[in-house]
Amino acid sequence: MATIYCDESGNSGERLIDNDQPFFVLASNDYSAAEARELLQHVRSPQAAEPKFKTLRKSPDGIRRMTNFLADPRLNRFRVLVDAYHKRFMVVTKLVDLIAETLAHDMGFDLYQRGANLAMANMLHCCMPVFCGEERTAAFLQSFVDLLRYRTEAHAQAYFEAGKAMVESSTHEVFKTDLFPFTEPRLFQAWFDFVGEMSLEPAIPALFQHINEWGKRKGTRFEVIHDNSKPVLASCETFESMMAMSGEQSQLVGYDRRKFHFPLRATSLSQGDSSLLPQIQVADLCAGALNHFLKCQTAGQLDDLAIAIRDLGCIEWVINGVVPSTDVTPQDLGTDSEDGTNPLDAIADYFSAKARN
């Protein structure tokens, strides 16, 4: 049976509003152990048993070896997948998904249709610092992160105060109305009681995306081995509940370009030791390389390694990106279609039917 190997870069835990590590990247591949060991010959050194991107990028010789590794034609978009999350923007998307989408759903409105959730997230990300100030926006987003991490009355109160400061400081009157669903204390219980403890972990939706994409590419069942990761370990049972049973067919759910097959085509998810699995070492190098490029690109300062990553076409590995843009229309977002089904409703219906059977 085929096996997919995964590793991540930039997981800073609860520090999602982190300018030093703005991106979370997950990389996966389907190499055999022999193929992975051959690829790693480019970067191995007598001094280190396991090559690590964070070590290689620190020296000219390490950068040279890393560039040789990335230039190997066996390292390509058919064998390597990458998912990238701009962590601060992801927090904004979670404001929309966990609060606005829940409240809209209660009123009979589907925020996912035609990409309204994406448009709202882009709008908030662009407008909050402009209308409310960068410091207040950062404090508001951090209070949301803290609330979902610690879930205490004190953190709820801090979130309300940060939201109130956002509304009162807004220089745009209409934008105060846009902030209302996120800052109104009377709406709090309508959404907060449904938020899970792992809702802000980028590792979970990224891994879901990778499993779905490999399912489409493989056309057969496969195993998934992820480098040791606390969020992934904590969510193993949930992932396995979303995997198709033997002989069970998957259905296409969701809207427009965001459709995916459910239940997932993987058969299992387990943790792996990178020192024993060369495929995970390859995933580490790929995730680290893309994270490095994205950080340099965002800062507008491409170093020699970032230029090599760009020129060697490594960006082609990226299958999905949760990154901000100024797009707000369905046409620009690529979501100008009304066919499909609400993904959350489809998943809920699946579990309801599974429980009945």
Residue 114 belongs to some domain of the structure? yes
Q: Render 222-287 in DSSP notation, one character per residue.
A: EEEEEES-HHHHHTHHHHHHTBPPTTPPPEEEEEGGG-EEESBSEEEEEEE-TTT-HHHHHHHHHH
Domain stops at, among 124, 159, 192? 192
State yes or no: pLDDT of 104 exceeds 90.
yes
Domain stops at, among 157, 192, 227? 192
Same domain, 211 and 185: no
In this predicted structure, what is the pLDDT of residue 355?
Answer: 84
Strand, helix or coil at 321?
A: strand
Residue 150 backbone class (left: φ over 0; alpha: ψ -120 to 50; beta: rest): alpha
Same domain, 100 and 184: yes
What pLDDT, in 10s, does the model give residues 272-311?
A: 999 999 999 999 999 999 999 999 999 999 999 999 999 9
Residue 354 belongs to some domain of the structure? no
Both tokens assigned to 36: 């992975």
Domain stops at, among 192, 215, 232? 192
Task: Give the domain range for residue 52.
Answer: 2-86+203-347
Same domain, 336 and 211: yes
Enclosing H/E stretch for 136: helix 134-150
Same domain, 110 and 259: no
Q: For 157-165, which contacts have Cβ atoms below 8 Å and span 24 or more sequence positions?
A: 160/185, 160/188, 162/136, 165/132, 165/136, 165/139, 165/140
Other C-beta atoms closer than 10 Å to the C-beta of 109 total 12
Same domain, 141 and 286: no
Residue 357 belongs to some domain of the structure? no
In this predicted structure, what is the pLDDT of residue 121?
Answer: 98
Question: Counting beta carbons within 10 angstroms of the beta carbon of residue 80, is it exposed (0 to 12), middle (13 to 18) or buried (19 or more)?
Answer: buried
Residue 198 belongs to some domain of the structure? no
Q: CA 339, CA 60: separation in Å to the nearest integer? A: 52
Same domain, 82 and 220: yes
Same domain, 173 and 233: no
Q: Render 93-109 in DSSP notation, one character per residue.
A: HHHIIIIIHHHHHHTT-
Q: Which residues neighbour 290 within 8 Å (Cβ) at sequence distance 6 or greater? A: 9, 25, 27, 82, 84, 309, 314, 315, 317, 318
In this predicted structure, what is the pLDDT of residue 48?
Answer: 65
295: domain CATH number? 3.30.420
Same domain, 64 and 155: no
The domain total for the chain is 2
Residue 356 belongs to some domain of the structure? no
24 pLDDT band, cuts 50/70/90, is very high
Same domain, 96 and 228: no
CA gyration radius, the chain: 21
What pLDDT, in 10s, does the model give residues 198-238?
A: 899 999 999 999 999 999 999 899 999 999 988 898 899 99
Strand, helix or coil at 31?
A: coil
Same domain, 116 and 47: no
Residue 355 belongs to some domain of the structure? no
What pLDDT, in 10s, does the model give residues 132-181?
A: 999 999 999 999 999 999 999 999 999 999 999 999 999 999 999 999 99
Tokens 């230039």 belong to residue: 71
Same domain, 42 and 103: no
Same domain, 327 and 184: no
State the Cα angle at 162 between 160 and 164, rounded to 5°: 65
357 pLDDT band, cuts 50/70/90, is confident
Residue 55 belongs to some domain of the structure? yes
User: If you average pLDDT over residues 57-84, what whole number do you get?
Assistant: 96
**What is the amino acid identity at position 111?**
L
In this predicted structure, what is the pLDDT of residue 105?
Answer: 95
Residue 30 belongs to some domain of the structure? yes
